[in-house]
Amino acid sequence: MIKKLISYKPIIIVPGQLNSVFFEIFFKALKYRKILSPLLLICNKKNFIKNAKKNKFTGKMQSIKNLSEIKKKIINIVDIQIKISKNKKTQKRHNNKYLENCFNTAFKIMKKKLSYKLLNGPINKNIFLKKKYLGITEYISKYFKTNNVGMLIYNKKLSVCPLTTHLPIKFVTKTITKKLIEDRLKLINKFYLEKFNFKPKIGVTGLNPHCESVSSFNEDEKVISPAIKSSKRKGISVFGPYPADTIFLKQNRDKFNVILGMYHDQVLTPLKTLYEYDAINVTMGLPFLRVSPDHGPNEKMMNKNLSNPTSLFKALEFLDQN
């Protein structure tokens, strides 16, 4: 469908599931400031037009079949069809197939290196991924056969990286290894050097409260500390482990560009408390830039015109400037 390479790289956007606040925050985000990169949405055209009218979008749009047709300052759309059924279970399958087709179309563009900027809207992981993947990060990395990937919740002042992503707590201790920590630290260091041209200072949390354990095996001493020491010897600016309950105090967090935590909520909860919607989800380790707003589809907020577009705007801005 998308054939010809052009001289500028568009931002490829997969809006995500149909029942989400994406288009509300998308049209709000476009009002914040102009995005210089061309925008290419891979979605159902009828659904886009319906949402454009609902959100009083007065800009121009066009359908395209080749990337050579893309234009700046308007919304370019690759129209993806979706089947409609009155049966709820059947429609759910149709919706999932629609999402799969959207992602596959975007992936073909990225594989052909026609762009290196991919943004996806919020996805209900339980419905779309059907528990086959922990999240969209893993779904995309599986397609591109990239083993060492990481989730970076990025903010200019401070970013965080959970060593384990959407993994139930009962599996966390079994997953943490010295090699996994070393690989993630290497990935963070490489990402910052390539994208921001500086070596980041990385703080690492412990796993246990106060980095102590009443058990005979203390992961902080036996796994995390050795990984930090070996990474330091390789030239990575990394420190820790630090107790998770104090590392986010201002006098501590100001020492670091990134904090690597052992599990999802250990680092995402304090970051969202500090910066709320001023953060984006970046996948490190892919052969292109993939970002998404740092929140879910939020179906309950649909049609209320109350959703905060900051994270999506920051995601668009990040891709526009890279």
**How many CB atoms within 10 Å of residue 200?**
18
> Taking a C-beta distance cutoff of 8 angstroms, is the pair 185, 193 a contact?
no
Supply φ then ψ for residue 174, to 5 degrees. Answer: -75, -20
Q: Do 155 and 113 fall into the same domain?
A: no
- Integer Cα distance of 290 and 318 in angstroms: 10
Token pair for 190 = 């490489």
Q: Do 26 and 67 fall into the same domain?
A: yes
What angle (nearest 5°) sits at the alpha carbon of residue 110, between those of residues 109 and 112?
70
pLDDT at 4: 41
Q: Do 182 and 127 fall into the same domain?
A: no
Q: Do 8 and 92 fall into the same domain?
A: yes
Distance from chain centroid for Cα 250 = 26
Q: Do 154 and 238 fall into the same domain?
A: yes
- Integer Cα distance of 65 and 3 in angstroms: 8
Model confidence pLDDT, tens digit, residues 53-92: 999 998 999 999 888 899 988 999 999 999 988 888 888 8
Where residue 294 sits, what CATH number does that domain have?
3.40.718.10
pLDDT at 214: 73
- Integer Cα distance of 28 and 311 in angstroms: 11
Please, what sign has the CA dihedral across residues 57, 127, 43, 150?
positive
Answering whether pTM is above 0.85, one says: yes
> Taking a C-beta distance cutoff of 8 angstroms, is the pair 265, 92 a contact?
no
pLDDT at 5: 40
Q: Do 142 and 172 fall into the same domain?
A: no
> Taking a C-beta distance cutoff of 8 angstroms, is the pair 67, 10 a contact?
yes
pLDDT at 3: 42
Domain count, the chain: 2
Q: How far is CA 21 from CA 54, 97, 121, 194, 305, in A?
A: 12, 20, 9, 33, 9
Q: Do 1 and 142 fall into the same domain?
A: yes
Helices (H), the chain: 22-32, 45-54, 88-111, 125-128, 136-143, 169-175, 178-196, 219, 225-233, 250-253, 264-275, 310-320
Supply φ then ψ for residue 170, to 5 degrees. Answer: -65, -15
pLDDT at 124: 83
User: Which has the closest alpha carbon to 253: 271, 268, 276, 269?
Assistant: 271
Q: Do 290 and 278 fall into the same domain?
A: no
**How many CB atoms within 10 Å of residue 92?**
13
User: Which has the closest alpha carbon to 227: 238, 242, 213?
Assistant: 238
Q: Do 99 and 213 fall into the same domain?
A: no
Q: Do 54 and 98 fall into the same domain?
A: yes
**33: enclosing H helix or E strand:** none
Q: Do 188 and 130 fall into the same domain?
A: no
Domain that holds residue 158: 150-283
Q: Do 240 and 140 fall into the same domain?
A: no
Token pair for 150 = 């990481």
pLDDT at 26: 95
- All residue ranges of the chain with pLDDT < 70 are 1-8
